[in-house]
Amino acid sequence: MSTGAPVRRDGDAGSRPADPGAPPVQVRGLVKRYGELTAVDGVDLTVHAGDVYGYLGPNGAGKTTSLRMMLGLIRPTAGEVRLFGRDPTASVAALDGVAGFVEAPTFYPYLSARRNLELLAAFDGDGASARIDTALDTVELGGRARDRVGGYSHGMRQRLGIAAALLRAPRLLILDEPATGLDPAGMRDMRRLIRRLADEGMTVLLSSHLLAEVEELCNRVAIVRRGRLVYEGEIAQLKRSAGTTYRLRTTDDERALAVCRAQRGLSGVRVERGHICFAADEQAAAELSQALVESGALIVALAPETVTLEDLFFSLTEEDAAAAGSAATLPEPDARVVAAEGTS
């Protein structure tokens, strides 16, 4: 059952015709509370047409809850979701041109893959049944279509989930952890499939723990921590704004770590494989050198490294970085970094 305060609903926002100019996904002030727990806390994000958009966050950050609200499966406590300008909690008409799955895709285990797709195509109408063979071929399940889904491996179910989504000929594909549980070959195939669909013009919103995969596939990301948005924008911009990651070794790493944590302009300070790692710009690194010398921790090595999305993800989502308000990650136009206290 829905919990929390009732949401004021825009009467016909779900069933009115899609606005061709509206972005595929627009989320404003989205909140979901379960009693005392706030699973999603004021999330704002926009997915533009043609984006491959990554939705990132640690376990329990509220990603899946947000996606469920986007698909109309759960009602927001506050805020609104619009898919092509329509409200998915008001009517399934808002899901026209939208498909996907949250958590693992699920099917009737006692029916074959083909029967499952026939059922879903019947529920879709609009000629979806004519797309069953193509969808099965796209995910390379044509040869196993008559097998009961109960006997399918996790990877096959993930692929069948994509096939079920393709029946709707979507313009927007929403995928929750599509590569979770797949072996390396399965992950590679899933990545290629998503890339291909995006190249064909589909807008993709995907949540993932696999940061290298997101970095390879996505052009824009939203990063959430404990239900709150800490960044939304282009990955390239995030990397530019984050400065450089440095690796540091000193004669007294314990003292150096304390100095780094206290030093202004450093973020994501952590110990990794015997090195102190942090993100900083050149000026902050130079100031750190001086501070280390003054503290008596002499520098053995201080080397810049290429920053990865993973570094940035940890710097934005880990506890100590959040306490520092992610201050080192500077916002630039069209990208939003949100301090732990509030939203933009």
Partner 1 sequence: MNPGVATVYRWELFKLRYQKRTYLGLGAAALVPILFVVALHFRHPHRGGDFAFSSYLTRSGLAVPLVILLFGAVWMFPLITALVAGDIFASEDHNGTLKTVLTRSLERHQIFAGKMLAAATYAVTAIALNVSVAVVAGCLQSGFNSLQSLSGTIVSAPRSLELVYVSALVYLIPIATIVAIGLLLSAVTRNSAAAVVGTLMVSLLFQLIGILPGMGAVQPYLLSTQFNAWQGLLRTPIDWAPIVRALWVCAMYGIPALLAAFLVFLRRDVAGG
**Binding interface with partner 1 (CB under 8 A):** 1-3, 65, 68, 71-75, 91-93, 95-96, 99-111, 119-120, 122-126, 164, 168
User: Between 100 and 233, whose beta carbon lies closer to partner 1?
Assistant: 100
User: Between 11 and 304, whose beta carbon lies closer to partner 1?
Assistant: 11
Q: Kindly state the smallest distance separating residue 261's Cβ from partner 1, in Å.
A: 38
Q: Kindly state the smallest distance separating residue 189's Cβ from partner 1, in Å.
A: 22
CA distance linking residue 314 with residue 273, whole number of Å: 16
- Helix axis angle, 113-124 relative to 154-166, nearest 10°? 30
DSSP string, 8-47: P--TTTTTSPP-TTS-SEEEEEEEEEETTEEEEEEEEEEE
Q: Kindly state the smallest distance separating residue 101's Cβ from partner 1, in Å.
A: 7
User: Between 110 and 254, whose beta carbon lies closer to partner 1?
Assistant: 110
Q: Kindly state the smallest distance separating residue 32's Cβ from partner 1, in Å.
A: 9
Judge contact between 239 and 309, C-beta under 8 A.
yes
Judge contact between 11 and 89, C-beta under 8 A.
no
Judge contact between 181 and 208, C-beta under 8 A.
no
Q: Kindly state the smallest distance separating residue 92's Cβ from partner 1, in Å.
A: 6
CA distance linking residue 284 with residue 288, whole number of Å: 6
User: Between 95 and 292, whose beta carbon lies closer to partner 1?
Assistant: 95
User: Between 101 and 231, whose beta carbon lies closer to partner 1?
Assistant: 101
CA 78 to chain centre: 21
Q: Kindly state the smallest distance separating residue 121's Cβ from partner 1, in Å.
A: 9
User: Between 102 and 221, whose beta carbon lies closer to partner 1?
Assistant: 102
DSSP state of 6: P
Q: Kindly state the smallest distance separating residue 141's Cβ from partner 1, in Å.
A: 16
- In the block, tokens 């329990």 appear at 60
User: Between 104 and 299, whose beta carbon lies closer to partner 1?
Assistant: 104
User: Between 98 and 259, whose beta carbon lies closer to partner 1?
Assistant: 98
Count of all residues that appear for the chain in the document: 344
Residue 113 sits at φ, ψ, to 5 deg, of: -60, -40
Asked whether the CA dihedral 186, 188, 192, 198 is positive or negative, the reply is positive
Spatial neighbors of 196 by CB under 8 A, at least 6 apart, are none
In angstroms, the Cα distances linking 236 to 53, 241, 243, 280, 307 are 13, 9, 12, 17, 11
Token reading at 18: 């899609």
Q: Kindly state the smallest distance separating residue 76's Cβ from partner 1, in Å.
A: 10
Q: Kindly state the smallest distance separating residue 13's Cβ from partner 1, in Å.
A: 15
User: Between 101 and 152, whose beta carbon lies closer to partner 1?
Assistant: 101
Q: In 10 A of CB 69, how many CB atoms? A: 27
CA distance linking residue 78 with residue 63, whole number of Å: 16
